[in-house]
Structure 1
Amino acid sequence: MPVQSSPAGTSSRLASSALPGLLALLLSCGRPIPPAPAPAVEPTMAVLETRVGPEGSDGPTFCRSDRLCGSEVLPAFYQGRQLRPAWIDEGLTLSDAKAFIDALRLVSADGLNPENYHLSTLESVLSEIRAARAETPGPVPPETLADLEMLLTDAFLLCGSHLVHGQVNPETIESEWFIKGRVEDLAAALEKGLETNDVPAALDSLRPAHAVYRGLMRAFDEYRALVRDGGWPAFPAGPKLSKGDRDPRVVSLREILTVMGDLPAADMSGDPMLFDEGLERALKAFQFRHGLEPDGVAGTGTASALAVTASDRLTQIRANLERWRWITQDLGERHIIVNVADYRVAVVESGREVLSMPAIVGSAYRRTPDFSGRMSYLEFSPSWTVPPKLAREDILPRVQSDPLYLRKKGIRVFEDWTDDAREIDPADIDWPRMGAEALNYKFRQDPGPQNSLGRVKFMFPNKFDVYLHDTPDRGLFRRAVRDLSSGCIRVEKPVELAEYLLRDDPSWTRERIVDAMGGRETEVVTFKEAVSVHIIYWTAWLGEDGRVHFRQDVYLRDAALYRALDELAAGPAG
Structure 2
Amino acid sequence: MKYSFLRDNLIFVVVLFSLFACHRKRVLRDREIVGDIRQLSEVIPENIIERLEYIADNQDVMEDSVPALRSGALNYFYQQTNNNPVWSSNGVLDGQADSMYYYIIHAEESGLLPADYHSVALDQAMKRIREDANAKKDATLWAQVDLLMTDAFMKMAMHLRFGTGPRDSITLRKDSVYSDTLLANYLNSALHQHIIGPTLRAQEPQHNGYQLLKSAWVNFKGKYSEMKWDSLPLTYTDTAGYRQLLINRLVQSGHLDTSGGHSSDTSLLKKGIRAFQKEFNMYEDGQAGKKTIQTMNKTFADWEVQVALNMDRWRKLPDTLPQRYIMVNVPGYRMELVDSGTVAVTSKVIVGAPRTRTPLLNSRMTNFVMYPYWRVPFSITIKEMLPAIQRDRAYLAKKNLEIIDSHGNAISPDSVKWSKLSKNYFPYVLRQMDGIENSLGIMKFNFMNKYAVYLHDTNARGLFANSYRALSHGCVRVQQWDSLSMYLTKDDTRHPRDSMRRWLANGDKKQIDIQHSVPIYFRYFTAEGRDGRLVLHEDIYGEDRILRKQMKR
**1:465 counterpart residue number:** 452
Contact 1:215 1:542 in 2 (8 A): yes
Rounded Cα–Cα distance in structure 1 between residues aligned with 2:318 and 2:208: 14
**2:41 counterpart residue number:** 40
Change (3 A) 1:200 1:471: same
Q: 1:179 aligns with which of 158, 161, 171?
A: 171
Contact 1:85 1:149 in 2 (8 A): no
Q: 2:510 aligns with which of 523, 531, 535?
A: 523
Which consecutive unaligned segments of at least 5 residues does structure 1 have?
1-37, 172-176, 242-246, 569-574
Letter in 1 for 2:456: H
Change (3 A) 1:301 1:150: closer
Contact 2:348 2:464 in 1 (8 A): yes
Task: Using the TM superposition, give the Cα deviation of residue 132 of structure 1 relative to its aligned residue in structure 2, in angstroms.
Answer: 11
Q: Kindly, what percent of the aligned residue pairs are identical? A: 27
The alignment of Structure 1 onto Structure 2 pairs a total of residues equal to 507
Question: TM-score, normalization: structure 2?
Answer: 0.77
Contact 2:231 2:296 in 1 (8 A): no
Change (3 A) 1:150 1:355: same
**1:157 counterpart residue number:** 154
Q: 2:266 aligns with which of 258, 275, 289?
A: 275
**2:22 counterpart residue number:** none
**1:19 counterpart residue number:** none
**1:370 counterpart residue number:** 360
**2:196 counterpart residue number:** 199
**2:112 counterpart residue number:** 112
Rounded Cα–Cα distance in structure 2 between residues aligned with 1:203 and 1:424: 66
**2:206 counterpart residue number:** 209
Task: Using the TM superposition, give the Cα deviation of residue 198 of structure 1 relative to its aligned residue in structure 2, in angstroms.
Answer: 1.5
Q: 2:399 aligns with which of 409, 415, 419?
A: 409
Contact 2:227 2:252 in 1 (8 A): no
Contact 1:232 1:309 in 2 (8 A): no
Task: Using the TM superposition, give the Cα deviation of residue 206 of structure 1 relative to its aligned residue in structure 2, in angstroms.
Answer: 1.5
Q: 2:538 aligns with which of 548, 552, 570?
A: 552
**1:231 counterpart residue number:** 229
Letter in 1 for 2:412: D
Rounded Cα–Cα distance in structure 1 between residues aligned with 2:361 and 2:46: 46
Change (3 A) 1:292 1:553: same
SS of equivalent residue, structure 1 residue 377? strand
Letter in 2 for 1:560: I
Rounded Cα–Cα distance in structure 2 between residues aligned with 1:43 and 1:328: 41
Task: Using the TM superposition, give the Cα deviation of residue 146 of structure 1 relative to its aligned residue in structure 2, in angstroms.
Answer: 5.8
**2:60 counterpart residue number:** 61
Instruction: Determine whether 1:169 maps to 2:156.
Output: no
Rounded Cα–Cα distance in structure 2 between residues aligned with 1:353 and 1:514: 24
Letter in 2 for 1:482: R
Instruction: Determine whether 1:455 maps to 2:454.
Output: no
Rounded Cα–Cα distance in structure 1 between residues aligned with 2:417 and 2:136: 97
Please give the residue correspondences for 1:136-147 in structure 2 after superposition, counting only pairs within 5 Å. none
**1:478 counterpart residue number:** 465
SS of equivalent residue, structure 2 residue 102? helix
Task: Using the TM superposition, give the Cα deviation of residue 82 of structure 1 relative to its aligned residue in structure 2, in angstroms.
Answer: 7.8
CA deviation digits over 1:149-191, x for unaligned, max 9? 44333322222222222222164xxxxx623247475625434
CA deviation digits over 1:213-271, x for unaligned, max 9? 34444554534763533136648964679xxxxx67665555544554555x6x96433
**1:392 counterpart residue number:** 382
**2:187 counterpart residue number:** 190
Letter in 1 for 2:533: R
**2:26 counterpart residue number:** none
Change (3 A) 1:100 1:313: closer
Pairwise CA RMSD: 4.1
Which consecutive unaligned segments of at least 5 residues does structure 2 have?
1-38
Contact 2:153 2:187 in 1 (8 A): yes
Change (3 A) 1:223 1:200: closer
Change (3 A) 1:86 1:507: farther
